[in-house]
Amino acid sequence: MLKKLRVILSLLFFGLITFLFLDFAGLIANHRLDWLARIQFIPALMAHSIIILLVIIGVTLLFGRIYCSSVCPMGVFQDIVSYVSKKTGKRKKRYRFGKAKNILRLILVGIVAIGVISHVTVLLGLTDPYSAYGRMVSNILRPVYLSGNNLLEKIFTSFDNYTFYRKEIFIADGAAFAVSLITFAGIGFLAWKHGRLYCNTICPVGTILGLAGKFSLIKIRIDESKCNHCSICETKCKASCIDSKKQTIDYSRCVDCFNCLGSCKMKAMKFTFGRKPAFGQNVENSTSTDTGKRRFLLTGIAGIASVPLLMAQNKLNSGKPYLRKNAISPPGALSREHLQRHCTSCHLCIDKCPTQVLKPAFTEYGLGGMMQPMMYFEKGYCNYSCTLCSEVCPTGALKPLTVAEKHLTQVGQVVFVEDLCVVHTEGTNCGACAEHCPTQAVTMVPYKNELTIPHTNPEICVGCGGCEYICPVRPHRAIHVEANLEHKKAKPFDKGEKQKVEIQDFGF
Amino acid sequence: MDRRKFLKALAVAGAAVTIKSKGGMDILAQTVKGSGNAKPVDLVAVMGGDPVTMFRRAITEMGGMSKFIKKGWKVTVKPNIGWDKTPELAGNTNPQLVGEIVRQCFAAGASEVTVFDHTCDDWMKCYKNSGIENAAKAAGAKVVPAHEESYYRSVSLPDGKALKDAKVHQAILDSDAWINVPVLKHHGGANLTIAMKNYMGIVWDRRIFHNSGLQQCIADICTLSKRPVLNVVDAYRTVKTNGPQGRSLSDVVDTKGLFISQDIIAVDTAAAKFFGQIREMPLDYVSCLANGQALGLGTMNLDKLNIKRIKL
């Protein structure tokens, strides 16, 4: 019964959050499912959503790691993988009790925490189950979903039905794709072989909630008088946390899957309040040293120590007037620093951007900002009145913007290089940049004869990239946007009043 | 198949009813009367009405829609839907005008009417906020996307000077006839955008235009062998400054004009002269006109033409 409830809840959460990432066509109206990302532990932590954190921890203190069981999409993903492995495996799948790797868990959480405190979120971004899952959907599943859409489009359009429209499929950043693929393969492999090993070894949320889970009020308890040590429960435990010989359960690792409950022939297991406190029921901590762990620790520390160094390598170019010096952070990010401190690279914003202006950064922000969203203008430019990315961000790395605020948010400023412009080099009309400029920060002013040439007013520029996107000059564009490391407020342009102009005649 | 036929019949009937209820039947009646022995009209200029009334009057003077659209034809109507702007800001063709043209196509017996534009801003926002998607769909048209390269096919332009080929949207290539419905606007790059410039919305890669001489490429793309059967210039509201987008209402003038002709150079010349009354716009600033005339696409010499000027 409990297991059924768990499975239904898990699949519901899992399906919906996956669809939230896939839904490019806006089938989910009015941000109705955005909360699914916001109630995830790490996003709530980054966004300082105290209430959500308290609820998650409170639920864990009451019932154990329900969050890990049902709310976390990566958790459910692993359950699905191990379910498939169980159904397809030649031999009957049996889990066995394993020792808790508590020291490793704490060290890993420590490293991640040090990273977060020193404002490097890349490790957190890599290990956070929600963000890692988001990237898997965004980088791997989404192209599959889009292919399906495009296939349907082809079929329907051939019958003159335009319900579907084509969507271009491309990999915006190879590194982010590779990381997602490695995550998928790595966690997938662990889940295939060892169930929830990732959750109980590497996952920082698993470790933190594991600590709370130890003290949970209601938990699975073994009635020692009924138990006959048959160890069936142990073989069913995908968290490998039941020691049937000792009749103990490591509650720091139990994810409340309830698979054991139904398996017990003696009905010796119950999800219930304890008569005596649960302390001391935990397995002993491993104290033996492990060179692998040490090496890992050392690399981790070395990695963190080198971070300031890597952070410094974030200038793209210098000297060339026609090249962007710094990568542009999305509107709502406030500053590159704010983005880097808060973003865990779940790529929800990238998925939601209707004009493909956002892509995962490679080293443009420095290694510390790897996979975080940056603006680029190859596929499109930022729609003047669109605020989607800022609205969906669950971590507060992008602060929600109203349309009015967006109109005055300057993520960068226009830079025009006359020597490269076709009006100058070819003596022909162009004006594509000014045409695309929503604020007329780029206007065409008289040049020679009937020719007009761009003139810029960076104060009123919002940095949307329309000019850079459409500029026909290659290999280097005659006009581009230079990032504001700290976003500025654009000066509002003079809207003026509608004039009454009476045209009485045709003029010919 | 039956369902489709039924829907078509329904659309035609619907269009007919709409026209009747709005007094449009008189216009159709006039059509028959008007197309007698008089010298054919080359260009009609109308002023002072709403877009629908002006178009009805203009098409009547031209001899009625059935002169240009035959029974069973697949027609494509190509407005300018380039920008994420509401109709008041006049960045796009007036939606009511597009709706009326679609209705008249069906009334003339079109089997299907398709509407599209290769937009600059996000296509779905443009289609929606311009009001054109709604107006066209309400009139029974199919509104098709144009945001992906795969909707376009390469065609050669043997008569083009700078532009020798282009990728053109399949809705144009596969149609029996198409109607070019631009909006008259100031344009930072080309100085003006009217019917010729509206061709840029049927092609995929527009950077080539900007790179290889905009005014010549505009003329070159108009040599595409499939010419529009009509050019209808919407000048109900006109962006006079900061075009082609305009950034606020102060850029817009209520000009209440409409121009229609089969001669794309003539209709653009007329519209450019009309625009010249709002702000100075010498015709040689819009050099695609002369370039187009040199390619034999039409004439800038309006005096040679039989022009009907109508003030409502």
> Are residues B122 and A505, on separate chains, in Cβ contact within 8 Å?
no
Quote the strand ranges of B157-277, DSSP E. Answer: 165-169, 177-181, 183-187, 191-193, 230-239, 252-261
**Residue B72 C-alpha, separation from nearest chain A C-alpha, in angstroms:** 16
> Are residues B84 and A507, on separate chains, in Cβ contact within 8 Å?
no
Query: Burial of A92 by CB count in 10 Å (0-12 exposed, 13-18 middle, 19+ buried)?
Result: exposed
User: Nearest Cα to A52, choosing from A407, B33, A60?
Assistant: A60
Which residues in chain A have Cβ-Cβ distances shorter than 8 Å to B212? 428
The complex's ipTM works out to: 0.84
CA A125 to chain CA centroid, nearest Å: 8
| Residue A188, CA distances (Å) to A182, B103, B155 in order | 9, 57, 49
Question: Does the beta carbon of B295 lie under 8 angstroms from any beta carbon of chain A?
Answer: no
Which residues in chain A have Cβ-Cβ distances shorter than 8 Å to B252? 498
**A374-426 pLDDT tens trace:** 999 999 999 999 999 999 999 999 999 999 999 999 999 999 999 999 999 99
Please say if the pLDDT value at position B33 is more than 70.
no
Minimum CA–CA partner of A473 in chain B = B211
Which residues in chain A have Cβ-Cβ distances shorter than 8 Å to B213? 426, 428-429
Minimum CA–CA partner of A160 in chain B = B142
User: Distance between CA B1 and CA A179 in Å, rounded?
Assistant: 50
**A111-151 pLDDT tens trace:** 999 988 888 899 999 999 999 999 999 999 999 999 999 99
**Residue A419 C-alpha, separation from nearest chain B C-alpha, in angstroms:** 15
Helix (H, G, I), strand (E, B) or coil at A34: coil
User: Nearest Cα to B234, choosing from B109, B107, B135, B106?
Assistant: B135
Which helix (H) or strand (E) segment holds residue B18: the answer is helix B2-21
CB pairs under 8 A between A and B: 152
Residue found by looking up tokens 């979903």 in the block: A145
Longest dimension (CA), chain A: 105
DSSP state of A267: -
> Are residues B4 and A444, on separate chains, in Cβ contact within 8 Å?
no
Q: Which of A428, A444, A451 to mutate to test the interface with B (most CBs of B within 10 A)?
A: A428
Which residues in chain B have Cβ-Cβ distances shorter than 8 Å to A160? 4, 112, 142
Per-residue confidence (pLDDT) for residue A450, from 0 to 100: 80
pTM over 0.80? The answer is: yes
Per-residue confidence (pLDDT) for residue A455, from 0 to 100: 97
Which residues in chain B have Cβ-Cβ distances shorter than 8 Å to A473? 211
> Are residues B213 and A429, on separate chains, in Cβ contact within 8 Å?
yes
- Give the mean pLDDT of chain A: 90
Per-residue confidence (pLDDT) for residue A448, from 0 to 100: 86
**Helices within A165-265 (DSSP H only):** 174-194, 204-214, 232-236, 259-263
**Residue B287 C-alpha, separation from nearest chain A C-alpha, in angstroms:** 9
Whether residue A14 contacts residue A7, with contact meaning beta carbons closer than 8 Å, is answered with no
**Residue A435 C-alpha, separation from nearest chain B C-alpha, in angstroms:** 6
Per-residue confidence (pLDDT) for residue B175, from 0 to 100: 97
> Are residues B122 and A380, on separate chains, in Cβ contact within 8 Å?
yes
Which helix (H) or strand (E) segment holds residue A166: the answer is none
Whether residue A348 contacts residue A37, with contact meaning beta carbons closer than 8 Å, is answered with yes
Please say if the pLDDT value at position A91 is more than 90.
no
Question: Does the beta carbon of B299 lie under 8 angstroms from any beta carbon of chain A?
Answer: no
Residue found by looking up tokens 């043209």 in the block: B101
Q: Given CA atoms A187, A190, A192, A195 in this order, what sign does their dihedral have?
A: negative
Per-residue confidence (pLDDT) for residue A307, from 0 to 100: 57
**Residue B224 C-alpha, separation from nearest chain A C-alpha, in angstroms:** 22
From the list B45, B189, B211, which residue is nearest A506 (CB)?
B45
**Residue A171 C-alpha, separation from nearest chain B C-alpha, in angstroms:** 17
From the list B244, B273, B285, which residue is nearest A450 (CB)?
B285
> Are residues A508 and B278, on separate chains, in Cβ contact within 8 Å?
no
Q: Choose between B13 and A52: higher pLDDT.
A: A52
Please say if the pLDDT value at position B137 is more than 60.
yes
User: Distance between CA A306 and CA A301 in Å, rounded?
Assistant: 9
For range B77-98, the mean pLDDT: 97
> Are residues A450 and B287, on separate chains, in Cβ contact within 8 Å?
yes
Question: Does the beta carbon of B191 lie under 8 angstroms from any beta carbon of chain A?
Answer: yes
Q: How confident is the model at residue B7 (pLDDT cuts 50, 70, 90)?
A: low
> Are residues B210 and A354, on separate chains, in Cβ contact within 8 Å?
no
My answer on whether omega of the bond before A475 falls inside 30° of 0, hence cis, is yes
Q: Choose between B26 and B210: higher pLDDT.
A: B210
Per-residue confidence (pLDDT) for residue B21, from 0 to 100: 47
For range B180-204, the mean pLDDT: 96
For range A99-103, the mean pLDDT: 90
Which residues in chain B have Cβ-Cβ distances shorter than 8 Å to A162? 142-145
> Are residues A422 and B250, on separate chains, in Cβ contact within 8 Å?
no
Q: Choose between A161 and B232: higher pLDDT.
A: B232
- Name residue B311's beta-bridge partners: B47
For range A299-327, the mean pLDDT: 68
> Are residues B242 and A443, on separate chains, in Cβ contact within 8 Å?
yes
> Are residues B189 and A429, on separate chains, in Cβ contact within 8 Å?
yes
> Are residues B191 and A426, on separate chains, in Cβ contact within 8 Å?
no
**A452-505 pLDDT tens trace:** 999 999 999 999 999 999 999 999 999 999 999 999 999 999 888 888 888 889
- Name residue B78's beta-bridge partners: B180
Q: How confident is the model at residue A310 (pLDDT cuts 50, 70, 90)?
A: low
Please say if the pLDDT value at position B29 is more than 50.
no
From the list B143, B188, B240, which residue is nearest A431 (CB)?
B188
**Residue A239 C-alpha, separation from nearest chain B C-alpha, in angstroms:** 47
**A199-226 pLDDT tens trace:** 999 999 999 999 999 999 999 999 988 9
Q: How confident is the model at residue A94 (pLDDT cuts 50, 70, 90)?
A: confident
**B222-267 pLDDT tens trace:** 999 999 999 999 999 999 999 899 999 999 999 999 999 999 999 9
Which residues in chain B have Cβ-Cβ distances shorter than 8 Å to A495? 247-250
From the list B144, B189, B257, which residue is nearest A432 (CB)?
B189
User: Distance between CA B190 and CA A428 in Å, rounded?
Assistant: 10
Q: How confident is the model at residue A299 (pLDDT cuts 50, 70, 90)?
A: low
Q: Choose between A6 and A118: higher pLDDT.
A: A6
Q: How confident is the model at residue A260 (pLDDT cuts 50, 70, 90)?
A: very high
My answer on whether omega of the bond before A438 falls inside 30° of 0, hence cis, is no
For range B39-50, the mean pLDDT: 94
Minimum CA–CA partner of A450 in chain B = B285
Per-residue confidence (pLDDT) for residue A284, from 0 to 100: 41
Write out the DSSP string of B255-282. Answer: EEEEEEES-HHHHHHHHHHHHTTTS---
What percent of chain A has pLDDT above 70?
91
For range A219-240, the mean pLDDT: 92
Whether residue A283 contacts residue A260, with contact meaning beta carbons closer than 8 Å, is answered with no
Of chain B, the end-to-end C-alpha distance in Å amounts to 44
Structure tokens at A238: 């995908």
Minimum CA–CA partner of B273 in chain A = A507
Q: How confident is the model at residue B120 (pLDDT cuts 50, 70, 90)?
A: very high
CA B120 to chain CA centroid, nearest Å: 17
Which residues in chain A have Cβ-Cβ distances shorter than 8 Å to B282? 450
Q: Choose between A279 and B300: higher pLDDT.
A: B300
Query: B47 φ, ψ to 5°?
Result: -135, 150
Helix (H, G, I), strand (E, B) or coil at A489: strand
Which residues in chain B have Cβ-Cβ distances shorter than 8 Å to A435? 120, 187-189, 243-245
Q: How confident is the model at residue B30 (pLDDT cuts 50, 70, 90)?
A: very low
Question: Judged by CB atoms within 8 Å, which residues 5-44 of B form the interface with A?
Answer: none
Please say if the pLDDT value at position A434 is more than 60.
yes
Which residues in chain A have Cβ-Cβ distances shorter than 8 Å to B249? 495-498
> Are residues A431 and B214, on separate chains, in Cβ contact within 8 Å?
yes
Structure tokens at B98: 């597009």
From the list B121, B215, B278, which residue is nearest A501 (CB)?
B278
**Residue B211 C-alpha, separation from nearest chain A C-alpha, in angstroms:** 6
Per-residue confidence (pLDDT) for residue A282, from 0 to 100: 44
Query: A275 φ, ψ to 5°?
Result: -80, -40
DSSP state of A66: H
From the list B147, B187, B273, which residue is nearest A507 (CB)?
B273
The CB density around residue B39, as the number of other CB atoms within 10 Å, is 6
> Are residues B257 and A432, on separate chains, in Cβ contact within 8 Å?
no
Per-residue confidence (pLDDT) for residue B11, from 0 to 100: 60
What percent of chain B has pLDDT above 90?
85
